[in-house]
Every structure is written in structure tokens, then in C-alpha cells.
Amino acid sequence: MFHVQPQDPFHGIWVPLITPFTGHQVDHPALRRLVRHYRRAGVHGLIACGTTAEAAAMDAAEQAAVLDTILAESGATPVVMGLAGNNLRQAQARAREWGARPIAGLLATAPYYIRPSQAGLLDWFGALADAAPAPLVLYDIPYRTGVALEPETLLRLAAHPNIAAIKDCGGSLDKTIALIADGRLAVLAGEDMQALATLCLGGRGVIAASAHVRPDLYVALYDAVAAGRLGQARALFHALAPVIRLLYAEPNPGPVKALLGRLHGFDGAVRAPLAAPDPALLRTLEAAVAALPEA
């Protein structure tokens, strides 16, 4: 059964899709199979061309083709497109191009390497939101970009009519609580180990690379919290936690992509500078996944 989506898409379990490759090309048939699999599992949304998709290793044409393949199979499941870079005019042009497609939003990071001030970040995200035909989902991930979005900056950005949500990888519980309490942005946990805590605090959902593996358990976790069945939610999370740790034992998406390749019958290779995971890690991961309970 495919999940029926309510009008507001920024809630629930979102899978930041990997990008299957075959040789030097995107494996579009494998990508279509994955999208159908996650729709059947009942996830609430899909992310195209995020960090886990190795978007930084793809050119703009490849990213657009990946987005089109996902949209062709996504049906009523909302899709958000990743948007990263440090050239504002190019980012605005991509926002306009991709936002003209039937997407739910654009997942936008701070410009990497430059480490702008908070005033610069306000200008950057405001300019992207002004240009984008689709709502902006802020992506606060300072350990990758080199700069954090401070709470005051986020609360000012929340006033923009075209900024709707945040993928929260900021590493600050105080900031997470402040955003949830403010209520204007849909707070989506971006750190897999923070999924249960964020949901219990009132966060709207989770964007988790580990949800690739047993999406049904993640959907069950979300449903359990929403229904107040916290004992069930805790049991599900503690069952998933060993798998989450193993999936991040080497740089993401190496382990999850290799595992998915074995489970779904495609080449699980990553592009340079990433490398294939250690075979021993992969064997341990397979055993941990096999030990997971039924939903």
C-alpha cells in the first residue's frame, strides 16, 4: 500500500536517497526501483541529491536527471531537491530551474568553505528563498559547511514566507528546543541518533540515511510517537541504534550504499574521493540488519 500524503509535506520519515552508479553513469533503472520500494514502505518523503546522494560528485545535468527519475516514480510522495554551492547566482538559477518541477521544496545548505557571518547567511538564504518557486528547507550542518546557523538567525529566517522547515544537524539541543517552541519551522531531525529525541520534543519528522535499510521500522517509530506509544517507540529506536552506528562507522554513504546494492541488486559503488567500506564492516552490518525485528 502506498502512503497517502496530507497537504503539508514537511513531517514524518524522509529518505535522503542514495544515487546508484554503474560504471561512470547514474543507474536510473536501479534508482526507479528504490523509489518504488520506499513508496511501498510508506515513507512520507524523499530527498533527491542530498549529501547521501553524493551530489557533490555529480554535475548539474546529472543532478537534474536524477531528480526527474525520482519524480517520475514518486507519485504522491513529496520530493525535496538538494541545493548546495557557494555561488549565489548559480544557486538561484538552479533553484528556479528545479523549483519549476513538481517538488515540495529545496534543501539548502550554507555556502561551504567560505564561513560567512550570520548577516551573510541571512542575506544568502533570503536571496535563495526570494528566487525559489518552491519552499526552502534550511540545512544546518556546520561540521560539513564550516559555519553554524545561530538561533537568532534561524528565528529571523523563519519569518520569511518561503522558508518552511529545517533539517537539524546543528548539534545543539538548546537550538532544537528553541525552534520547536517557536513553531514556525517544521523541525526535521537530520542526525539519525537524534530521531527519537527530536520527535518526542515535538519535532515534525526525521531525514535519516539509515532509514534506507528498514524504512518500515522508521515509519512504525514515527507512528508510535504520534500515537503516544512511547514504550514501543523506544524499543524500535534501541533496536535500530546498533545498525545506525555501523552505517556511520565509515564515511556516509559508503556502508549504506554497499548494503543496499546487495539487498536490491545493483552496484553499490561510490564515486571518488569516497571508498568502498571494509568487507568486515559490511558483514557485521548485514548480520545486524538480519537481527532487526518485524515492524
The catalytic position among 167, 218, 248, 257 is 167
Q: Are 46 and 14 in contact (CB under 8 A)?
A: yes
Do the bridges between strand 21-22 and strand 25-26 make them parallel or antiparallel, or are there none, so unpaired? antiparallel
The answer for residues whose C-beta is within 8 angstroms of residue 227's C-beta and 6 or more apart is: none
Q: Residue 175 catalytic? A: no
Among candidates 121, 179, 170, 118, which has minimal Cα distance to 144? 170
The answer for residues whose C-beta is within 8 angstroms of residue 154's C-beta and 6 or more apart is: 138, 140, 166, 175, 179, 185
- The SS3 assignment for 159 reads coil
**To which H or E segment does residue 166 belong?**
strand 163-168
CA–CA gap between residue 240 and residue 267 (Å, rounded): 25
Q: In Å, how far from its chain's centre is CA 158?
A: 20
Q: In Å, how far from its chain's centre is CA 231?
A: 26
The catalytic position among 139, 218, 222, 248 is 139
Q: Which residue matches cell numbers 532487526?
A: 292
Q: Which residue matches cell numbers 513529496?
A: 78
CA–CA gap between residue 254 and residue 275 (Å, rounded): 7
Is 207 annotated as belonging to a binding site? yes
Is the bond leading into 279 cis (omega within 30 degrees of zero)?
A: no
Is 77 annotated as belonging to a binding site? no
Q: Residue 139 catalytic? A: yes
- The SS3 assignment for 5 reads coil
**To which H or E segment does residue 90 belong?**
helix 88-99
Among candidates 162, 161, 197, which has minimal Cα distance to 180? 197
Q: Which residues are annotated as a binding site for pyruvate?
A: 52, 207
Catalytic positions: 139, 167
Q: Which residues are annotated as a binding site?
A: 52, 207
